[in-house]
Homo-oligomer: A and B are copies of this chain.
Amino acid sequence: MSSEPDAPTTSIASHGAEDVFIRGVSLCKDLIGQRSFTEVIYFQILGRMPTSDQSALIDACLVALMEHGLTPSVLAARLTYSSAPEALQGAVAAGLLGVGSRFVGSMEGCAALLQRVVNAEDGAAEATRIAVEHRAARTALPGFGHPTHKPDDPRAQRLLELAHERNVASKHVAAIAALSNAIDATYGRHITINATGAIAAVLGDCGVPAEIARGFGLIARCAGLVGHLYEEQQKPTLRATWEAAERAVPYEAGKGEG
């Protein structure tokens, strides 16, 4: 813990009796009614206002991430809400706890690979190196592959297309194209760039650092969870899900022991 500064400060917000300031900008005069939620998200996190093209791409990434149906994260949130309806925040928190390394978190892994390609002297060679390494180790390639969206993930295609249309596409979008080519050549078949792969590239070219990219997934999914919990309030699924799970995972004597 010796690396912590003796006197840390915060530069995010300050307030007085007459206003609140986010990074020095008046919340009441210059943000509320002047800027979209997406613009202020970017501004609060990164300390600079996005261009309108960057803002359009951030919007697109958040929209693409928001909703994926009855995922494990949504199921956890709904089960929690119907068990503890006194605390909507608890159900949202339970859902977000599943936004981890296995699903949405693959953005981070892909962003790290793109960083390697971007930083390499010879990007194409580095992309091939990554593909060969993963093939040899038989490990999953974060940002690539999808069980149902074949041959291509339509969300990824749309996001990358939009990045070109808006002239946001730059080094990270080029890196994922290079990586995709290298992967197809190395594996001898086409493996789609999936939604989290495209988002990693687009966020990278919008200036979002890899270490906070997962945060955009959390914001988008938080919104998605609220919609599911409003539906759960009106049409509870707890009983149906619970009974289905009990049938799907029956009791069997002695087989689960350590």
Contacts and interface: CB of A to CB of B under 8 A. Distances in A.
Contacts of A91: 97
Interface in A79-126: 79-80, 82-94, 96-103, 105
14 contacts: A4-B239, A8-B249, A10-B228, A10-B249, A15-B148, A32-B159, A38-B38, A44-B66, A44-B224, A70-B246, A72-B82, A87-B89, A212-B230, A230-B258
Contacts of A99: 83-84, 89
Given A97-B91, A218-B226, A72 B67 contact: no
A45 interface: yes
A233 interface: yes
A189 interface: no
Contact of A100 (B17, B84, B230, B252): B84
Lowest 8 A-B CB distances belong to which pairs? A84-B100, A11-B256, A47-B257, A215-B226, A9-B252, A244-B248, A83-B98, A87-B87
A236 B8 contact: yes
Nearest to A215: B226
Given A12-B227, A13-B251, A37 B40 contact: no
A201 interface: no
A88 B258 contact: no
A86 to B, nearest CB: 5
